[in-house]
Chain A
Amino acid sequence: MRVTNQMMSNRMMLNVNRNMARLNILGNQMATGKRISFPSDDPILAARVLKFRTSLRETEQWQRNVNQGISWMESTDAAFVGVREGIAGLRLEFQRAISAENRLPERQAIINVINEMKAQLGSSMNTSYAGRYVFSGFRTNHPPIFETNQPDLSFALTQTFRFSDIENTTVVQRINDRVTPKLGVNMLKLAYAGNIENLQITISGTPGWNGTITTFDDPSDHISNEDAYNPGPDDIHFIRETGQLILGSNVVEALRNGTMTASYVRNGFSEGELNPMIYFNSFDITNSPVMGNNVTDVAAALYAAFPTGHPIRTTDQWTALENAFGAWAADPTDEGLRTDFQNEFLSFLKTPTFTVGGTADPDISISLTEQRAMGINHFNNRPGDLTDQRLEFEFSFNTRIPINTLARDVLTDKLHADLRELIRFINGLEEMLSDPLALANDIRAQIASGALGPMTEEQIQQKVSDQIAAEHSAIDLAMQNRFNSMLGRIDVHNQGISRQDADLGSRMQRLDMIRQRLVYDRLNFRELISENEDIEYHEAAAFWAMARVAHEASLSTGARILQLTLADFIR
Chain B
Amino acid sequence: MRSAFFEFNVARSAIFLARGGLDIVNHNIANAREDSSFSRQFIEQRAATPMNLRDGRGMIGTGVHVFGIGQHRNVFLDNKFWNENSTLGRFHMQSQQLRVLEMGLNELRGADAPNGGVSTVSGFGQFFTAMSTLSTHASDNTLRTSVIQSANTLTSFINNMSQTLRRQQIDANNEVSIIVGRINSLGNQIASLNEQITRTELTGSRANDLRDSRTNLINQLSRYVNVSVFETERNADFAAGMFPEPEQRNLSQPHFRVMINGQEFVSGRDVHLLETVARPPGSERNPTDVPGLFDIQFRGGRTFDMYSPMLRGQLRGILDIRDGNNGAHVFATRPPGGATFPSGARNEFNIITHPTITDAFQVTINSPVRDDLNQDGRISLFVNGRIIEVGYDSLVLNYDPDNPLDRDLWYYTLVIHDNDPGFPADFDWGAFPASVGRVEIGRTSDFKGIPHYKNQFNQLVRTFATAMNEGLNRNGQPIPGTVLRDDRDASHTDSGTVYDMFFLGARSGYHSDGRPIYASVNWRSQAFLNFTVNQHLAQNPGDLAVSSNNNEGESHNDVILGFLQVNNFSGLFAEGRLNDFLIAVSGELGVDVRQAMRFEENYIDIVQSVEIQRISVSGVDIGEETADMIRFQHIFQAAGQLINVIDQLYDMTINRLGNF
Chain A nearest CB, measured from B124 CB (Å): 9
Taking CB atoms, residues of chain A closer than 8 Å to B554 are 138-141
- Tell me the nearest residue of chain B to A132, going by C-beta: B555
Q: B630 is contacted by which of A38, A136, A139, A570 (Cβ under 8 Å)?
A: A570
- Tell me the nearest residue of chain B to A39, going by C-beta: B590
CB distance B553 to A46 under 8 Å?
no
Taking CB atoms, residues of chain A closer than 8 Å to B611 are 10
In the bound assembly, the distance between CA atoms of A162 and B549 in angstroms comes to: 29
B395 at the interface (CB under 8 A from A): no
CB distance B626 to A570 under 8 Å?
yes
CB distance B586 to A39 under 8 Å?
yes
In the bound assembly, the distance between CA atoms of A381 and B549 in angstroms comes to: 10
Taking CB atoms, residues of chain A closer than 8 Å to B128 are 58, 61
In the bound assembly, the distance between CA atoms of A303 and B582 in angstroms comes to: 54
Taking CB atoms, residues of chain B closer than 8 Å to A36 are 108
A32 at the interface (CB under 8 A from B): yes
Interface residues on A, range: 35 or more
Q: B619 is contacted by which of A4, A33, A56, A140 (Cβ under 8 Å)?
A: A4
Chain B nearest CB, measured from A8 CB (Å): 10
Interface string of B571-584 (1 = CB under 8 A from A): 00000000100111
CB distance B615 to A10 under 8 Å?
yes
Taking CB atoms, residues of chain B closer than 8 Å to A138 are 547, 552-557
Taking CB atoms, residues of chain B closer than 8 Å to A11 are 608, 612
- Tell me the nearest residue of chain A to B110, going by C-beta: A53
Q: B115 is contacted by which of A32, A41, A378 (Cβ under 8 Å)?
A: A32
Among B99-107, B294-302, B352-360, B505-513, the stretch in contact with A: B99-107
CB distance B552 to A385 under 8 Å?
yes
B97 at the interface (CB under 8 A from A): no
- Tell me the nearest residue of chain A to B119, going by C-beta: A50
CB distance A47 to B583 under 8 Å?
yes
Q: A382 is contacted by which of B114, B136, B551 (Cβ under 8 Å)?
A: B551
Consensus secondary structure, chain B interface: helix
In the bound assembly, the distance between CA atoms of A565 and B616 in angstroms comes to: 17
Taking CB atoms, residues of chain A closer than 8 Å to B623 are 5, 565-567
Chain A nearest CB, measured from B432 CB (Å): 49
CB distance B553 to A142 under 8 Å?
yes
Contact A40-B115, Cβ < 8 Å, known A6-B32, A64-B133: no
Chain A nearest CB, measured from B575 CB (Å): 11
Taking CB atoms, residues of chain A closer than 8 Å to B556 are 138, 389, 391
- Tell me the nearest residue of chain A to B490, going by C-beta: A368
Chain B nearest CB, measured from A49 CB (Å): 7
Q: B557 is contacted by which of A3, A61, A391 (Cβ under 8 Å)?
A: A391
Q: A1 is contacted by which of B36, B129, B616 (Cβ under 8 Å)?
A: B616
A44 at the interface (CB under 8 A from B): yes
In the bound assembly, the distance between CA atoms of A139 and B557 in angstroms comes to: 11
CB distance B587 to A43 under 8 Å?
yes
Taking CB atoms, residues of chain B closer than 8 Å to A34 are 114
Residue from the set B32, B33, B615 with the largest chain A CB neighbour count within 10 Å: B615
B135 at the interface (CB under 8 A from A): yes
In the bound assembly, the distance between CA atoms of A361 and B520 in angstroms comes to: 40
Q: A388 is contacted by which of B490, B552, B592, B612 (Cβ under 8 Å)?
A: B552
B564 at the interface (CB under 8 A from A): yes
CB distance B139 to A141 under 8 Å?
yes
Among A171-179, A392-400, A508-516, the stretch in contact with B: A392-400
A2 at the interface (CB under 8 A from B): yes
Give 10 closest A-B pairs by Cβ, nearest first: A39-B590, A139-B553, A138-B553, A40-B593, A43-B590, A4-B621, A566-B623, A138-B556, A566-B626, A4-B619
Give 19 A-B contacts (CB < 8 Å), ordered by A residue: A5-B621, A6-B619, A6-B620, A38-B102, A38-B593, A39-B587, A40-B98, A42-B590, A43-B590, A46-B590, A50-B579, A53-B112, A53-B122, A54-B121, A138-B547, A138-B554, A138-B555, A565-B623, A566-B623
Contacts beyond the supplied A58-B129, A389-B552, A397-B568: 14 A-B pairs with Cβ under 8 Å: A6-B33, A6-B615, A11-B612, A33-B114, A38-B590, A54-B125, A65-B135, A137-B553, A138-B547, A140-B555, A369-B496, A382-B551, A389-B556, A391-B556
